[in-house]
Amino acid sequence: MDALWMSPLPSSTAGEDEASAAAELRRGPWTSEEDAVLSGHVAAHGEGRWNELAVAAGLRRTGKSCRLRWLNYLRPGVRRGGFTPREQLLILDLHSRWGNRWSKIASHLPGRTDNEVKNYWRTRVQKHAKQLGCDVGSRRFHDVVRNLWMPRLVERVHADDSAAAAASQYYSASPAPAACQNVAAAPATVGNCSARAPSPDATSCVTGSSSSSSWEASPPPPAQFQTSSPPAVAAGWAATTDQCQQNGCSSSATSGGDMFDESWSELLARANHDGAESAGLPDFGLGETGDNWWSLDDIILQQPLY
């Protein structure tokens, strides 16, 4: 697989030490052996000084590459797999506030990296914009997100909370499914996997050898994403669910990680047929970009997020 990418570049002739050293740098996917070396070295000596670390560990990688590999993949607690509806909601909301500040957004998603958030935005969100034939920064897309996508996510989160409540009662009397047992030690405040009913997300809650250390190191999620919704929030979600149904959203949750397996054109057609104005859908038109077009504050909570 890595024959092309991983093989060292052709070595230089004698007397070209610097060029030779540079030529021996490896690029491309990391091997499990390299991962083990890097993890072991970080465990023994700590993070930082990545250039020195790369040399000391005997890795033919740049310090930058080592740092990236550690932060995005090897670091204990890094979570992989599809984003939960909660996380998707949070990304949409925070992006509306901060734009492409991926690192800042990721800091509010425990275990997620800026790279993952960025990839999510580019693959999922921009895909939907493309389906709509508009730009992610356009007013049209912002309106769709605000009036269709986010309410649907809220609906899904609400459903998951209900399922979690039922599951927690069930699992209190029976062993947790294997997929979630490895995160049993994670604080219950993180609502993505713990105490949830089995779901596709459950299999990808936490990877890596350690599942607890960075949960503790990560910043806590916003209060409304920690445990079951407080009554006021739940009421807001219920109201939003009604709005969502008016908009024509299906009440059935999609099976995958993405909320919109259904085509945008169908959703829009249904929403507009049902009465776009009454449902809060504006007359769509391509508009200019702007900041903070939508927000969970407006759509759900009527109170500050943070």
Partner DNA sequence: AAATAATACAACCGCCAGCGA
Partner DNA sequence: ATCGCTGGCGGTTGTATTATT
Residue 5 within binding range of DNA, rule CB under 7 A: yes
Query: What is the x/- site pattern for DNA, positions 229-258, by CB under 7 A?
Result: -----------------------------x
We find the least distance from the C-beta atom of residue 65 to DNA, in angstroms, to be 4
Contact pattern from residue 80 through residue 109 relative to DNA, giving x for each residue in contact according to CB under 7 A and a dash for the rest: xxx-----------------xxxxx-----
Residue 168 or 250: the one with the smaller Cβ distance to DNA is 250
Q: Residue 35 or residue 298: which is nearer to DNA going by CB?
A: 35
Q: Is 90 exposed, middle or buried (0-12, 13-18, 19+ CB in 10 A)?
A: buried
Helix axes 231-247, 150-171, angle to 10 degrees: 130
Site residues (CB under 7 A) for DNA, limited to 45-84: 48-52, 61-65, 67-69, 71-73, 80-82
* Closest to DNA by CB, 114 or 160: 114
Q: How far is the CB of 301 from DNA (least distance, A)?
A: 25
Q: Tell which residue, 93, 106, 211, 78, has the closest CA to residue 154.
A: 93
Considering the rule CB under 7 A, would residue 115 count as an interface residue with DNA? yes
Q: Which is nearer to DNA, 79 or 139 (CB)?
A: 79
Least separation in angstroms between CB 227 and DNA: 26
133-152 binders of DNA (CB under 7 A): none
In the complex with DNA, the residue whose CB is nearer, 116 or 143, is: 116
Nearer to DNA, 191 or 208 (CB): 208
Q: Does 260 help bind DNA (rule: CB under 7 A)?
A: no
Minimum distance from residue 100 beta carbon to DNA (Å): 4
Q: Is 263 in the site for DNA (CB under 7 A)?
A: no
Kindly state the tokens that stand for 137.
């920064």
Minimum separation from the CB atom of position 25 to DNA (A): 8
Nearest Cα neighbor of 229 from 179, 164, 171, 278 is 164
Q: What share of the chain is helix, strand, coil (3-state, %, to 5)?
A: 55, 0, 45
Q: How far is CA 28 from CA 3, 31, 63, 174, 264, in A?
A: 10, 9, 14, 45, 36
# of chain residues touching DNA (CB under 7 A) = 44
CB of residue 102 vs DNA: minimum separation in angstroms?
Answer: 4
Q: Is 28 in the site for DNA (CB under 7 A)?
A: yes
In angstroms, the CA 85 to CA 220 distance is 18
Residue 43 binds DNA, judged by CB under 7 A: no
Minimum Å distance from CB 80 to DNA? 5
HEC states along 118-160?
Answer: HHHHHHHHHHHHHHHCCCCCCHHHHHHHHHHHHHHHHHHHHHH
Q: Whose CA is closest to 238, among 157, 149, 123, 125?
A: 157
From the CB of residue 158, how many other CB atoms can be counted at a distance below 10 Å?
19
Give CA torsion, residues 193, 196, 198, 202, to 10 deg: 0
Closest to DNA by CB, 13 or 255: 255
Helices and strands: H and E segment counts in the chain: 16, 0
Summarize as ranges the residues that interact with DNA (CB under 7 A). 1-2, 4-5, 26-30, 48-52, 61-65, 67-69, 71-73, 80-82, 100-104, 114-116, 118-120, 122-124, 127, 258
